[in-house]
Structure 1
């Protein structure tokens, strides 16, 4: 075995060992109690009508936020009523403590009832609201 190969092998061993220690450290429990925060969505609400391309502020109540939140990074997805999958991400990477985030209404194939789902610690649905699909008169195909 050449000296450079032995040195490389030794370096790889220490890098691997460092990776194992980092993984073990990340599995340690966090000091202090953390709570799940499920803020109610205030807007959109029943009776709200959105149209493609509009911008709206999705808002939620942060008044009862606990001191320690398990996951403070939020994501908002669009859910069609009765559908178990929410593939459309409207916003992501914001603080769940912001209380609002502006989103752009996406194109939808049909006018229907939708909800926004606010993810952070958990998924919290807005009340059902309507997104109007494209009209044959608005120039969209």
Structure 2
């Protein structure tokens, strides 16, 4: 089995997103294997803790290279957020900011 660990390209360090809005998470698919059998999921992490209970997206094709997510309204403001892309492993984006 090939382990696929794509690099997240958006959000990047310095990105500022606003709670309640919809954004596109993107990742590099240049080295994607032909077949990916594992499930997919995007979760939000704050300070290194992932919110597994409330995925922002799941069940999409990792070879697509992007998925739209909505930052839940009421998400606390902070500059220590990351997006975690799950498939074969959990790939973290650089830390970015969410504003209220």
TM-score by length of 2: 0.88
Which runs of structure 1 show a deviation greater than 6 angstroms over 4 or more consecutive aligned residues?
none
1:86-125 equivalences under 5 Å are: 86-87=51-52, 88-106=54-72, 107-125=74-92
Aligned counterparts of 2:68 and 2:20: Cα–Cα separation in 1: 12
Greater relative contact order (Cα < 8 A, sep 6+): 2
Unaligned runs of 5+ in 1: 1-33, 134-141
Larger radius of gyration: 1
Determine which of 17, 28, 34 is the counterpart of 1:61. Answer: 28
Unaligned runs of 5+ in 2: none
CA RMSD of aligned residues (A): 1.4
Aligned counterparts of 2:57 and 2:78: Cα–Cα separation in 1: 21
- Structure (1/2) with the larger helix percentage: 1
